[in-house]
Structure 1
Amino acid sequence: MRYTSLIYPILTISLASTAYARNKQQHPINSPLLTPAMPPPSSSTSTPGGDSTVILSDVLGNDRSINIFAGFTRDFAPISKRFEDSSLNTTILAPINSAIMGLPRKPWEDLEDYDKLGAEAYEGGDGQDRAQRNLRRFVEAHVVPASPWKEGEKLKTLAGGEIWWESRDGGKVIQPGNIEVSSIASKVHNGEVWILKGVRNYASQ
């Protein structure tokens, strides 16, 4: 199928690339121009609400280990605009590339779609729209509309699922799902970027 055959070869090439350029234009998810881009690195950080002018959209693409997820976010204007809005604090839970690549199905695939529509569920215009909706749900399941985010504080992601985090062995674990936070990659004016070792159960959102 188109999505299966094109997206991951493109992303694999992207991971091997040594130079990245920001792509400000929106593209469909099966476009070769989707290849996640990296803006010039920025070393400026601050706590949310500080005086720094650096925002989430400036830093999300800086870490190559999450550039697949960063590329997905740029497919959806409302999400991109949120990251560009200095008045909206956000915690981005970005899965590492290997976690996305290792999924049993692609982020835009839903078993219910296959059950109802068969192997051609994502072909044609309706199929592409369906895949785009599913991919947006995947991205929104990894975006928490708050920062700072206190331990144990239960919040809803943009997809609507309730989520919280706990301290464990000196690190953070996202619940539900026991997903380890590898690191906090960035702390900027309007939020933080957390790198996850796994992927949230987006299908249940």
Structure 2
Amino acid sequence: MSTTSKSSLSISDVLPQTRSINIFAGLTRDIDPINDRLTTPSQNSTILAPLNSAIQALDRKPWEDEEEIKAFGGFETNAYGLGDGEHRANQNLRRFVERHVVPVSPWAEKEKVQTLAGDTVWWEQGEDGKVVMPAGVKVGSVPSKVGNGEVWVLEGVLRKQ
């Protein structure tokens, strides 16, 4: 057993330890400002990490935007394989991750906060546990509380508001 206290660990240390959210954990490492935030002890956050199964169940990949696909002829390869496509995909992926990062911790019930993507969210305690609003996404568990915040495992994803 490690002698490291939870308060000396950062979100970036514990996020990859929960296998059921390793897709989201990997995405956070690929976006430098997010990775930096999760590593920095003075920047508290609540990470709303969707289950792998919730990300896999999406109609589109996290980097795909339905409006962009329509604008570029209805095919993902047209929207993301040509010209500025890689840049668009990276921006969409970053917004997806930012939508799941609340820049406060602890986070009080019914406290409305803007995610890093600019969406307003709050949580409420229901009969079956915590629910992130306005999307109504259930928090399955809170496996990690560390020095710079908490990781909440979501049973769904937060969509663009």
Structure 1 counterpart of 2:139, one-letter code: V
Count of residue pairs the alignment pairs up: 158
- Structure 2 CA distance for aligned equivalents of residues 57 and 73 of structure 1: 9
From 21, 31, 53, the counterpart of 1:98: 53
TM-score, scaled to structure 1: 0.74
List per-residue Cα deviations over 1:56-108 (Å, max 9, x = no partner): 11100000000000001111110000001000100000000000000011111
Q: How does 1:8-157 map to 2 (within 5 A)?
A: 46=6, 52-118=7-73, 119=75, 120-157=78-115
TM-score by length of 2: 0.93
Identify the structure with bigger relative contact order (alpha carbons < 8 Å, sequence gap 6+).
Answer: 2
Q: Where in structure 2 are the equivalents of 1:144-183 lying within 5 Å?
A: 144-183=102-141
| Residue aligning to 1:196 | 154
SS of the aligned residue for 1:183 comes to strand
Query: Which protein is richer in strand relative to its size?
Result: 2
Unaligned runs of 5+ in 2: none
Residue identity in the other structure for 2:99: A
Partner AA of 1:124 in structure 2: L
Structure 1 residue 185, shift from structure 2 partner:
1.2
Structure 1 unaligned blocks of 5 or more: 1-40, 47-51
Matched residue SS, 1:135: helix
| Equivalent residue, structure 2, for 1:34 | none
AA aligned opposite 1:69:
F
**Which residue type is aligned with residue 107 of structure 1?**
P
Q: Which SS does the other structure have where 2:141 is aligned?
A: strand
Identity, in percent, stands at 56
1:170 CA displacement: 4.7
1:67 to 1:45, Cα distance in 2 relative to 1, 3 A: farther
* Displacement after TM superposition at 1:125 (Å): 4.7
- Displaced runs of 4+ in structure 1, greater than 6 A? none
CA distance in 2, matches of 1:85, 1:43: 21
